[in-house]
Amino acid sequence: MFGLVGAKALFNIIWSFLRYGIPLSIMFITFSLIYMYVPNRKLKFNNVIVGAIFTTFGWITTSVLFSFYVNHFANCEKVYGSLGGVIAQISWR
């Protein structure tokens, strides 16, 4: 659509923000809802916002660090066998 209008550069700018903003928002909303409705007491959104932010960025940090480890240091086929190496590569790429 952006190509038909002649706004490919605009699409690239918008997409550079949305490709990270959408998953962050979904993760934050999911963790907020879990923290609000899973405990056996009524909590307001203000009470769970810090935990949801911490968990969202903790999850992302852990994922990035594990991905760096798998890409640079781990020889998954030798450690886990051929099937385990394939599963490790698929689950974190």
Domain locations in the chain as residue ranges: 2-91
Give the per-residue pLDDT at 75. Answer: 67
DSSP per residue, 33-87: HHHHHSSSS---HHHHHHHHHHHHHHHHHHHHHHHHHHHHT--HHHHHHHHHHHH
Q: Is the pLDDT of residue 82 over 80?
A: no
Segment 11-69, tens digit of pLDDT: 778 878 888 899 999 999 999 999 999 988 888 888 899 999 999 999 999 888 887 87
